[in-house]
Structure 1
Amino acid sequence: MSHGKALELSYSADEVFSRIQHEGIKFIDLQFTGLTGRFHHTTISANTFTPEQMRDGLPKLDGSSIVGFTSIDDSDLVLKPDPNTFAVIPWYTANKTARLLCDVYWGEDRGRLSRDPRGLAQRAEEYVKSSGFDYSAWGPEVEFFVFDKIHWDVLTPYKGQSYSIESEEAPWSQSGSGYPMGLQEGYYPSTPSDTLTPFRNECVNILSENFGILCDNHHHEVATAGQCEIDIRYDYLTNSADATQSYKFVIRNVAKKYGKVATMMPKPISMDSGSGMHTNVSLWKDKKNIFFDEEAEMELSQVGRYFCGGILEHSRALCAISNPTTNSYHRLVPGYEAPVYIAWSGSNRSAIVRIPRHFKGVGYARLKRLEFRAPDPSSNPYLVFASVLAAGLDGITKKSDPGDQVQEDIFKMTRSERAKRGIGVLPANLGEALDELESDKEFLAPVFPDDVIDRLIELGRRDQREIAIRPHPHEFYLYFDV
């Protein structure tokens, strides 16, 4: 099995200090992920960084200032760098800077912070082993938009709220300098219509050469106005989540270099496709892909079917984690490439779980996987992978067979036809998804402590209220003359 960073770049603490010295590293960027998925950092001078700090951590974090971490009355946290994540950041040329991803601990040797997303991912990997498997493999397909400019006005609510997007690729472009593509007509266009090939090439080079993250494909996606995808090679769960966060970090910074802005917002453009993060997963034991069975339908083993059944059974609750923003649910509507209906299939992309069928046979056993198509890139990858794993393993434990696959286009079925087939629907909004998580959270217990789930629900309801109390600009079009 070929993995990404796990086999490409791997460093001991001694090797990190050797590289710092021999490569003239001036600063170390200590990076970590908050509960909501946002990337944070603090920077230290390389000449003050010691082996003891690498081992014991650095007392550099006020947890009460990171959304979702701690309260103000108990907030002293420690960042413990992971030497395996060492990477030189190429856009800092004047003062050479390297980064280290960090695990988050309580001070005074009180153990791991339960709300550290990276810790939850590592806990999920231990759960895989205790469930009788060696490891799980994960390959996210992260989509995003790169705009020329974005403007919004939300700080003057009594004046009105608005936003505007500029892109030479868009049909509304006023520049006249490009070859604009229509709504939902952006899939695989050649240059010069696809203006972002040099940008994506540079991102792939940096991810590979500096961060040890293998990317095997990149292209323009379905939406207009600069929607892109760069595919990350599959890897172990925590490594893959690390790679996803590093991917977002690189994309945003390279976009800035090009004078553009990148966003992981799921649905920035109305009437066009949104950005997803299709999540591919397989289970492995004794160097074999447990999801592969040459004799089974679509070569998917019974264990793989049970894993699929677990995802389907808990899919409505999973949405609160895999689709955690109010904007996520503008993407999850029929007709815009996003899955809405709770079903599984082979090549049918209208189902939320798909079994890719590009190749078959023992020679391609390593590629047998489930593709969960609901998640979007606004989510926290550590939490998404950990929660999908928990749902799948719950399905294996309960032997939750997913039933017959759905081969027809579900988008074209009537409601009564879907009801006859037992095809459910994903939540219509974030509030509904949070209700589902609140009532169906037991499957997460082996990985997620209750306080983490409670905090995620609390933060989600806060965002839901922020939107609920504000009128939408389109409501003026619909209702001003009532």
Structure 2
Amino acid sequence: MPSNAIEALKFLKENQIQWVDLQFTDLPGRLQHITIPAADFTEESFKTGFGKLDGSSIKGFTTIYESDMVLQPIPETMALVPWSQGVARVMTRVFWGGARGRFERDPRFIAEEAERYQSEQGYLSYFGPELEFFVFDKVELNVALPQSGTGYKIYAREAPWQTTNGHLIRYKEGYYPAPPVDQLFDVRLEAINVLTKYFGFIIEATHHEVATAGQGEIDFMFSTLADTADKVQTLKYVLKNVAAKHGMIATFMPKPMFGDNGTGMHTHLSLWTKDGKKNLMYDPNDEYAELSQFGRYAVGGILAHARALSAIVSPTVNSYRRLVPGFEAPVYVAWSKGNRSAIIRIPSYYKGMEKAKRLEYRAPDPSCNPYLAFSAILMAAMDGVNKKIDPGDPVDENIYHLSPEKKKALGIKDLPRSLDEALDELESDNEFLKPVFNSSILSTYIDLKREETKTLQMYPHPMELYYYLDS
């Protein structure tokens, strides 16, 4: 991967690149692009950018009367696109047109601001998300004219409702089966080969996940905040294209089907000294989980703001179909060492290993905007450190099985049960975000999400006819 503009220009020439995709992320978190001639790239263009963007047509960006925007390439992200001959991609920063500076609602700008803020505080953060997803053979939708019938049908070669070769995966039995039962291994393998060879990823693991119907996971090596968010967008981009090449569809939707586990993005976070030499979350003398007091404060901050964070890390109406008891998704605000029913756990696979000490925040799902999600998680953790927020005692019991009285006694709160409830929490609890999240992006984000919930509330769900047609 190039490390500067000169190397990026050399990369374009050596690979005989004719076209370059300028990629950026809109406010909801979807990757966008425009393709331009590689011949337009010069050392100067990496500084001045390309005036190619009508911001009024991008969700969450600008109005029609202030729509001219500039995309500035990030040379470190230049990479070959293997499925399109003579094409490369580069991720970009978004600027206002007319030399008015950085666009304050560019999600990557928020990630860069979060990195600036943590550096001023003397810290360095590392993020390691675990991206889950489904790869379906086909999805049929009937939503164009709801009055004629609304619904969908999933086709998945290993699902118990469809398989024709006998290699089925029953509900909740998809964790780690070997091929040929795992029928999506080749698709995941092709995706990680592309990520490794062309996009500079270091892959730690890939495997089938718990659900049937092609649920999988890809894990890559942790990195700094903005770089990790870039990698999340890249992984989604690559997997979707690899699946499409096979005539399939990859989706990061949190809960595409009833009765089985949804799709999460468990996110690992560690905080280090600014020079990267000391893991501030590690204490070898802590008997419970080798977690330092600093680390406990970071946990306390995320727990304190967990309900508000939900609006950013679980950002769709569908996210709250996943966050229900019984499907390994966290619904309770608590922490523990190995308890996967808690929203935060402290992985303890090894003892005496400083570099491995971290927290795992289990609420996020991959429908989130990773630039906003990682920034918000960091700000909550740092608020906990700055205010010395105690997380309380760890809960080493299955929280799903605790009585309401026991949960109340332990001070265990519920996560929001809907996006609207989460947005209410974010509106009332966002001071911890304000050193990094400007008021413009917060208000625009909330407005977008309110509109999303309002729109979906107007559509009757197919199952409502089953329950209420005889009313």
Q: Same fold (TM over 0.5)?
A: yes
2:169 match: secondary structure: coil
TM-score by length of 1: 0.96
Instruction: Say whether the 8 Å CA contact 1:168–1:178 is kept in structure 2.
Output: no
Instruction: Say whether the 8 Å CA contact 1:149–1:165 is kept in structure 2.
Output: yes
1:448 aligns to what? Answer: 437
2:9 aligns to what? Answer: 17
2:216 aligns to what? Answer: 228
Aligned pairs for 1:422-461 (under 5 A) are: 422-461=411-450
Aligned pairs for 1:406-425 (under 5 A) are: 406-425=395-414
Instruction: Say whether the 8 Å CA contact 1:120–1:382 is kept in structure 2.
Output: yes
Cα shift at 1:60: 0.4
Instruction: Say whether the 8 Å CA contact 1:266–1:276 is kept in structure 2.
Output: yes
> In the alignment, is residue 69 of structure 1 matched against residue 67 of structure 2?
no
> In the alignment, is residue 341 of structure 1 matched against residue 329 of structure 2?
no
> In the alignment, is residue 90 of structure 1 matched against residue 91 of structure 2?
no
> In the alignment, is residue 121 of structure 1 matched against residue 121 of structure 2?
no
Cα shift at 1:48: 2.5
User: Aligned equivalents of 1:365 and 1:202: distance in 2?
Assistant: 33
> In the alignment, is residue 282 of structure 1 matched against residue 270 of structure 2?
yes
Instruction: Say whether the 8 Å CA contact 1:56–1:80 is kept in structure 2.
Output: yes
- Range moving further from structure 2, 464-473 or 138-147: 464-473
User: Aligned equivalents of 1:389 and 1:104: distance in 2?
Assistant: 22
Instruction: Pick from 31, 36, 44 the counterpart of residue 28 of structure 2.
Output: 36
User: Aligned equivalents of 1:374 and 1:178: distance in 2?
Assistant: 35
User: Aligned equivalents of 1:304 and 1:110: distance in 2?
Assistant: 40
Cα shift at 1:10: 4.3
User: Aligned equivalents of 2:154 and 2:62: distance in 1?
Assistant: 36
2:181 aligns to what? Answer: 193
Stretches of structure 1 that go unaligned for 5 or more consecutive residues are: 1-8
1:277 match: secondary structure: coil
1:439-472 residue CA offsets vs partner (Å, 9 max, x unmatched): 0011100110011111111011111011111111
Cα shift at 1:177: 2.1
Aligned pairs for 1:344-383 (under 5 A) are: 344-361=335-352, 364-383=353-372
Instruction: Say whether the 8 Å CA contact 2:172–2:211 is kept in structure 1.
Output: yes
User: Aligned equivalents of 2:369 and 2:355: distance in 1?
Assistant: 26
1:408-431 residue CA offsets vs partner (Å, 9 max, x unmatched): 000111111111111000000000
1:123-179 residue CA offsets vs partner (Å, 9 max, x unmatched): 00011111121x100000010000000011111011120000001110100x51241
Cα shift at 1:194: 0.3
User: Aligned equivalents of 1:404 and 1:192: distance in 2?
Assistant: 44
Instruction: Pick from 60, 65, 69 the counterpart of residue 52 of structure 2.
Output: 60
Look up the equivalent residue of 2:312 and give its one-letter code: I
Percent identity between the two aligned chains:
51
> In the alignment, is residue 399 of structure 1 matched against residue 376 of structure 2?
no
1:323-378 residue CA offsets vs partner (Å, 9 max, x unmatched): 110000000000001000000001100000010010010xx210100100000010
User: Aligned equivalents of 2:278 and 2:186: distance in 1?
Assistant: 38
Look up the equivalent residue of 1:306 and give its one-letter code: Y
2:379 aligns to what? Answer: 390
Instruction: Say whether the 8 Å CA contact 2:332–2:412 is kept in structure 1.
Output: yes
1:6 aligns to what? Answer: none
> In the alignment, is residue 263 of structure 1 matched against residue 256 of structure 2?
no
Look up the equivalent residue of 2:416 and give its one-letter code: P
User: Aligned equivalents of 2:15 and 2:139: distance in 1?
Assistant: 38
2:172 aligns to what? Answer: 184
Cα shift at 1:258: 1.1
Instruction: Say whether the 8 Å CA contact 2:2–2:8 is kept in structure 1.
Output: no
Aligned pairs for 1:238-249 (under 5 A) are: 238-249=226-237
Instruction: Say whether the 8 Å CA contact 1:144–1:227 is kept in structure 2.
Output: yes
2:73 aligns to what? Answer: 81
Instruction: Pick from 303, 310, 316 the counterpart of residue 319 of structure 1.
Output: 310
The number of aligned residues is 468
Instruction: Say whether the 8 Å CA contact 1:276–1:376 is kept in structure 2.
Output: yes
Look up the equivalent residue of 1:20 and give its one-letter code: L
Instruction: Say whether the 8 Å CA contact 2:129–2:219 is kept in structure 1.
Output: yes
User: Aligned equivalents of 1:91 and 1:342: distance in 2?
Assistant: 43
> In the alignment, is residue 470 of structure 1 matched against residue 459 of structure 2?
yes
1:158 match: secondary structure: helix
2:145 aligns to what? Answer: 156
1:53-107 residue CA offsets vs partner (Å, 9 max, x unmatched): 11110000011100001111111110000001010010013xx111110000011
2:146 match: secondary structure: coil
User: Aligned equivalents of 1:320 and 1:298: distance in 2?
Assistant: 29
Look up the equivalent residue of 2:324 and give its one-letter code: V
1:107 aligns to what? Answer: 97
2:240 aligns to what? Answer: 252
TM-score by length of 2: 0.98
User: Aligned equivalents of 2:220 and 2:400: distance in 1?
Assistant: 29
Cα shift at 1:306: 0.4
1:299 match: secondary structure: coil
**Root mean square deviation of aligned Cα:** 0.9
Cα shift at 1:18: 1.1
Instruction: Say whether the 8 Å CA contact 1:282–1:289 is kept in structure 2.
Output: yes
2:219 match: secondary structure: strand
Distance 1:103 1:178, change over 3 A: farther
1:207 aligns to what? Answer: 195
Instruction: Say whether the 8 Å CA contact 2:130–2:217 is kept in structure 1.
Output: yes
1:231-287 residue CA offsets vs partner (Å, 9 max, x unmatched): 011001111000000000000000011111000100001011000000100011141
Instruction: Pick from 284, 287, 305 the counterpart of residue 294 of structure 1.
Output: 284
Stretches of structure 2 that go unaligned for 5 or more consecutive residues are: none
> In the alignment, is residue 272 of structure 1 matched against residue 241 of structure 2?
no
2:297 aligns to what? Answer: 306
Look up the equivalent residue of 1:339 and give its one-letter code: P
Instruction: Say whether the 8 Å CA contact 1:124–1:390 is kept in structure 2.
Output: yes
Provide runs of 4+ in structure 1 moved above 4 Å. Answer: none
Instruction: Say whether the 8 Å CA contact 1:149–1:261 is kept in structure 2.
Output: yes
Instruction: Say whether the 8 Å CA contact 1:11–1:86 is kept in structure 2.
Output: no
Cα shift at 1:51: 2.0
2:140 match: secondary structure: strand
Cα shift at 1:109: 1.5
User: Aligned equivalents of 1:414 and 1:32: distance in 2?
Assistant: 47
